[in-house]
Amino acid sequence: NMKIVTRALNAMYNLELSLDEEKLKNSYDAMIDELTKVDQLKIEFENMHPGVIPIADKKDITKQEALTQIASQLNRLMDLTKSSQAVILLETTAGQGKGLGNKFHHFKKIIDQIQNKNRIGICFDTAHSFAAGYDFTTKKKYDEMWNEFDEVIGLKYLYAFHLNDTDKECGSRVDRHTHIGQGKIGKEPFGFILNDEKFKDIPGILETPKGNDNKLDIMNLKTLKNLRKKN
């Protein structure tokens, strides 16, 4: 029997890293509204991208300063939504342009500064992380990557997967999703994830290309199901 539940909501807004106070206020207001809705709908996770280093601001800020600012904003957001039970998930990114979140140590820098660590976690996006340079296409590389994740961030902070293939090369830093097994990652690495005992209770969410109906989702789900080893 398969039970389908809504466990995560993708935030409409990324964390605003602007130094403009009005932009920051608008970002907070939007995020507070979303976290309130997440609680009302009894959804466990609010998923968001960490953000980008601002280009238009008068004062240039370094990557480390930007990560510290993200942590500060998350602490403020959590303080303003103390009654919320939702865990905020930061999604691994491809690292396009000035984007943050393409390296595991970015998340360590943020999490180390979070006051309520029960409300912070990571969503591992397969296409993004591959594009960011994390190659997990062989079992050896897969194990090495997760050992690094555990050492740098900690597996206890992994709450969800976004499952997508990509038609871009490893390390391209270009965000392009494609169907499972039809891209540069290939089918086998998804089997590594699906059959990994340590991930058996972690939800996976498809972010593959969509059509006018659910046929493409069914196709991708069948591909994933066929990769599951029979007990």
pLDDT for the residue 30: 82
Contact 146, 107 (CB under 8 A): no
Any idea where the domains of the chain sit in the sequence? 8-227
Q: Which residues, in sequence order, are CB contacts of 215 under 8 Å at separation 6+? A: none
CATH number listed for the domain at residues 8-227: 3.20.20.150
Cα(173)–Cα(168) distance, integer angstroms: 8
Residue burial 69-98, b: 16+ Cβ < 10 Å; e: rest = bbbebbeebbeebeebebbbbbbbbbbeee
pLDDT in tens, 135-164: 999 999 999 999 999 999 999 999 999 999
pLDDT in tens, 204-229: 999 999 989 999 999 999 999 999 98
Cα(84)–Cα(116) distance, integer angstroms: 12
Helix (H, G, I), strand (E, B) or coil at 210: coil
